[in-house]
Structures are given as C-alpha cells and as structure tokens.
Amino acid sequence: MGFQQIEMPDHFGLDSTEPEADRLIGVANEQIERFMLSDQEVIENFVTCDFHLTQCALQWIRDNHLLTGERFCELGSGYGVVAMLAARMGMESIGIEIEQVLVDEANALAAQLSNDAAFHCGSFIPRETLENLDMDREIRNVTIEEDDVYREIGLAMNDFDLFFAFPWPGEQVFFERVVDKWAASGAMLLTYRGRDGMQLQRKD
Ligand SMILES: C[S@@+](CC[C@H](N)C(=O)[O-])C[C@H]1O[C@@H](n2cnc3c(N)ncnc32)[C@H](O)[C@@H]1O
C-alpha cells in the first residue's frame, strides 16, 4: 500500500475560519440537531465530524496548492456538510451515503443553501473490492456492501482528487485500502481522527 503522509499544523488558528463557511456550519448544526431530536429511527453509524476543524484543513490544503484537480468525494457523507464546504470553495463536490434519509436531508440542505454539492445514495465501496481486500480486522461501522453508485454518478474513484472520510476508531485502514485500490496516483485522502485531529495522505 502506498501513501505519503502530509504533515498539517496541529492548530490552524482563528484566521482560517471564514464567515460564509461558519454560517453554513451553523445552519447545518441546527438542522442536524432537529433531525436527531425528531422521531427518526436512530442511525447508529451516523456521527458528525468537527466541521470547523475540517473546514480549516480544506482551506489549508487549498492555500498550499496540494490538489491535483478539483473533484471532491465524501465517503459516507451523512448530512453532507464537508462536501458542501468543499463545493463552497469551488470544488466539484459529491457525497456518497448509504442511508437514503441522510441523502435526502443533505440534498435538501444543499438546495436551501444554494450549494452545488450533490448527494447520492449507495455504498462507496465499488464492485470487485472486497474479494481482493485483505482485511485482517472486523469492520463494524461501515456497511460492507459493494455497489455501482459511481457508474450512476458517471465518475469512477480514479476521477477524484480529494476524498474525505470520518472513520470510526480502528477502521481508518479500511478507507485507506479502498482508496489505495481505486484512486488515481496523486489523489489525497483527508480523514477526521477524533481526538487525534486531521490526517492527510497522498496516494503514491
Ligand atoms: C461517522 S459518519 C460520518 C458522516 C460525515 N462524513 C461527517 O463527517 O459528518 C459515517 C457515515 O457513513 C455512512 N456509511 C457507512 N457505510 C457506508 C457505505 N458502505 N457507503 C456509504 N456510506 C456509508 C453511515 O451511514 C454514516 O452516515
């Protein structure tokens, strides 16, 4: 497996926040709270990352001209806030989410905010992934299901320049293996690691 780690600052500083991004995050947080308090069945695998920290990381990647292109994909996009932050920066941005109700919420929020991110229902794991993926540990919080959603979108994993994911503890390696198998050389994987902050890797 070939990834190069890219060191990011531990703290990005207050100047990395932007009023428009803050507004997007504020509106999204209100809607997520409303959604969580509604009568919806609990979606156990859905928790949100630190949107402010992730926005700072996206801006830092942008400011340092690290991307090979403009296509962004959030793997397991939940409410889609990170994909919307990437779209706000001018990226061609999509999210893939397995829970239809979250896809509907994300698309409705994007429409409300006039944000160009698009959300698609399906599994981010392409067909012919799992048989070759030597997984030595159990994956509990990703739905292990292969799908043709990229074909429906009209793009393949190797068309994207930056992936974002919020893996549950111990499941980072699964995302790395999927990206390593299918992404283009030079594509980047940004992950939110909870207490350990953000991690950025570039595929060899
Ligand atoms: C930890 S949440 C992160 C949500 C969002 N990315 C964020 O950071 O706020 C992980 C999301 O991945 C979704 N998910 C799990 N397995 C998936 C799969 N195979 N394909 C697409 N989405 C998946 C879950 O339903 C959940 O919404």
Q: What is the pLDDT of residues 8-66, one digit of tens each?
A: 998 887 665 789 999 999 999 999 999 999 977 889 899 999 999 999 999 999 999 99
Answer yes or no: is the C-beta of 76 below 6 A from any ligand 1 atom: yes
Mapped onto helix, strand or coil, the DSSP state of residue 83 is helix
Of the CA atoms within 13 Å of residue 87, those in its CB half-sphere come to: 21
For 34-49, what is each residue's pLDDT tens digit? Answer: 999 997 788 989 999 9
Look at residue 15 in the predicted model and tell me its pLDDT: 61
Q: Supply the residue whose CA is at minimum distance from atom 15 of ligand 1.
A: 142
b/e per residue 128-148 (b: at least 16 CB within 10 A) = ebeeeeeeeeebeebeeeebe
Q: Which residues pair with 81 in a beta bridge?
A: none
Q: How many CB atoms lie within 10 A of CB 174?
A: 20
CA contacts within 13 A on the Cβ side of 49: 33
Mean pLDDT of the 159-183 span: 95
For the CA of 142, the nearest atom of ligand 1: 16
Measured CA distances, 136 to 45, 128, 133, 171 (Å):
21, 18, 9, 11
Q: Which residues contact 26 (CB under 8 A, 6 or more apart)?
A: none
- Does the beta carbon of 125 lie inside 6 Å of ligand 1? yes
**Ligand 1 pocket: which of 42, 77, 81, 93 to mutate (most atoms <8 Å of CB)?**
77
Look at residue 67 and tell me whether its pLDDT is greater than 80. yes
The reply to whether ligand 1 has any atom less than 6 angstroms from the CB of 77 is: yes
Q: What is the pLDDT of residue 137?
A: 67
Cβ neighbours of residue 174 closer than 8 Å, sequence gap 6 or more: 135, 139, 142, 167
**Is the Cβ–Cβ distance between 86 and 106 less than 8 Å?**
no
Q: Cβ(141)–Cβ(40) under 8 Å?
A: no
Per-residue pLDDT for 203 more than 70?
yes
Q: Which architecture characterizes domain 3-9+51-203 according to CATH?
A: 3-Layer(aba) Sandwich (3.40)
Q: What number of H helices and E strands is found in the chain?
A: 6, 9
CB atoms within 10 A of CB 64: 10
Pairing of strands 198-203, 92-97: unpaired
pLDDT tens digits, one per residue of 109-157: 999 999 999 999 999 999 999 887 766 667 889 999 999 999 999 999 9
Provide the pLDDT for residue 39.
Answer: 74
Cα(81) to centroid(ligand 1), Å: 12
Taking CA atoms only, the protein residue closest to ligand 1 atom 23 is 76
Q: Are the C-beta atoms of residues 78 and 175 closer than 8 Å to each other?
A: no
Going by pLDDT thresholds of 50, 70 and 90, the confidence category of residue 71 is: very high
Is there a contact between 184 and 203 (Cβ–Cβ < 8 Å)? yes
For ligand 1, whether the C-beta of 78 sits within 6 Å is yes
> Taking residues 72-97, what's their average pLDDT?
98
More reliable by pLDDT, 138 or 204: 204
Residue nearest to atom 12 of ligand 1 (CA): 76
The predicted model gives 91-105 an average pLDDT of 97
Nearest atom in ligand 1 to the alpha carbon of residue 99 is 25
